[in-house]
Amino acid sequence: MSAESKLKQLGIVLPSVPTPVANYVPFRIHGNTLYLSGQGPRTPEGGFKTGVVGRDVDVATAYQHARGVGLGLLAAARSALGSLDRVDYVVKLLGMVNGAPGFGDQPKVINGCSDLLVEVFGDAGRHARSAVGMGSLPNNITVEIEAILAIKS
């Protein structure tokens, strides 16, 4: 099943691509590779979901934040490519978690995004990944995730 068909089947509507908050672009294509800039979790009104995971925000909530970031990354990919059906496979994610000192469940949080990508792309959504803790993130967001995707020739 195509990625676009899978989104419809799952009832997923992608958000609009957020305007960058600094001097960068949401994506860059080089050859058959799509680089997606890091995104953070957004509220429906366009603000940020904030807090320190393991102190202000629990793992289950942060997982949902990471899933929401995954939706934003898919929206950016669709904007870059015209259709998610042009994605060959997900190469790599870098997931950063704004965690409390000693917090060690970064992989569980970033699974929110990883699980979404596998739901949408199937085996092509499985990827290499880093899930790391940060002392802080821009605007005090809970997570930031960037992605690298291979484009079909």
pLDDT tens digit string along 26-80?
Answer: 999 999 999 999 999 999 888 999 999 999 999 999 999 999 999 999 999 999 9
Q: Residue 10 — very low, low, confident or very high, per pLDDT cuts 50/70/90?
A: very high
Tokens 């429906």 belong to 44
Superfamily per CATH, domain 3-14+26-151: RutC-like (3.30.1330.40)
pTM of the model: 0.97
Q: What is the pLDDT of residue 18?
A: 82
CA distances from 85 to 3, 9, 73, 137, 142 (A): 5, 15, 14, 32, 30
What is the distance between the alpha carbons of residues 16 and 31, in angstroms, rounded to a whole number?
Answer: 25
